[in-house]
Structure 1
Amino acid sequence: MGVALKLVDAILFLFFLLITVVAPLIDAQTCLPLSYFPNILVQLKEHYTRHYDDYLVADKPHFFVGLVWLELLFQWPLAILNLYAVITSKPWFNTTCLIYGVSVTTSMVAILSEMMGSKRASEKLLTVYTPFLGLGVLAMLRGLLTCCSSKSTSGKRPALARKKRA
């Protein structure tokens, strides 16, 4: 189980690193003025939008802009905390990982439901978004995993202290 946990942590570390970089530089262009960003980043996002025909990024529906704000104000700081926690083996990593995973999973279910329900998303676009749902679920499971396995190994409850009689 230790090797599998290390592998999951490595995958999540790469995911958190990606989010730490992409969220403020690329995703933030959805809800902030483009004049705040260097032209090369704006062109990169425009190329992505055309190449994958990402209609959510192009059209900026209100629910999607709200989810990007959620990512920037809530998920992005948690991704930074999780990076730090993985590197330094902090005991609160399980909690922040669980919170992050639940938030990402909820956001991705809303986005993917819209894409599949509207029938506007190509298979190519779905292959961009779907892995983020999987990584959100993985983060959520990682947060739950060690919480559940923290029971004592003997299976016995600790003995209660008895009061002395006078």
Structure 2
Amino acid sequence: MGALVKLIDAILLVFFTVIAIAAPFLDAQTCLPIDLFPDVLVELKLWYTREYGDYLVAEKPSFFVGLVWLELLFQWPLSIANLYAIVTGKCWLRTTCLIYGVSAFTSMIAILAELMGSHKASDKLLMLYSPFLGFAVLAILRGLLHSGKTTTASRRPGLNRKKMV
């Protein structure tokens, strides 16, 4: 079990690093004024939109803008907390991974339902978004797995002693 947890942590470390960088510099362009960003980042976002045909980024439907706000205000800080917890071995990683995973999973289901239901999305675009659903499931799984580092109340001898009156 310990090896599986370490593998998941390694994968999530890379994923959370990508989110920690991409969310404020690329995704934020969806809902913040474009003149806040350097030209190179704006051009990168425009290239991505053309290359993958991401009509959600181009058209900015209200539900998508709302999900980007959710990412920026809730998921992005959690991704940074998860990075810190993975690197330092904090015991609260399970909790923050579970919270992040459930939130990201919910968002990705809405986005993928739109992409598949609209019939506007290319296979290339679907292949780009689909892994994010997998990473969300992986974060949920990590939140549910015990790494062996945490101690429960039943294992702490001080808490199991009866009080003498």
Q: Partner letter of residue 110 of structure 2?
A: A
Give a deviation string over 1:42-78, Cα, whole Å, max 9, x none.
0000000000000000000000000000000000000
**CA distance in structure 2 between the aligned counterparts of 1:150 and 1:56, rounded to whole angstroms:** 45
Q: Partner letter of residue 68 of structure 1?
A: V
Q: Which residue number corresponds to residue 85 of structure 1?
A: 85
Q: Which residue number corresponds to residue 68 of structure 2?
A: 68
Structure having the higher Rg: 1
Q: Which residue number corresponds to residue 40 of structure 2?
A: 40
Does 2:106 align with 1:106?
yes
Where in structure 2 are there 5+ consecutive unaligned residues?
Answer: none
**CA distance in structure 2 between the aligned counterparts of 1:116 and 1:86, rounded to whole angstroms:** 34
Structure-2 change in CA distance of 1:37 and 1:99 (3 Å): same
User: What TM-score results when the alignment is normalised by the length of structure 1?
Assistant: 0.89
Count of equivalent residues: 160
Relative CO higher for 1 or 2, CA cutoff 8 Å, sep ≥ 6? 2
- 2:120 match: secondary structure: coil
**CA distance in structure 1 between the aligned counterparts of 2:63 and 2:32, rounded to whole angstroms:** 15
Identity of aligned residues (%): 62
Q: Which residue number corresponds to residue 121 of structure 2?
A: 121
1:1-166 alignment runs, 5 A limit: 1-146=1-146, 161=162
**CA distance in structure 2 between the aligned counterparts of 1:152 and 1:74, rounded to whole angstroms:** 30
Structure-2 change in CA distance of 1:68 and 1:5 (3 Å): same
Give a deviation string over 1:90-113, Cα, whole Å, max 9, x none.
010000000000000000000000
What stretches of structure 1 move > 4 A for 4+ residues in a row? 149-153, 158-164
Offset at 1:2?
1.4
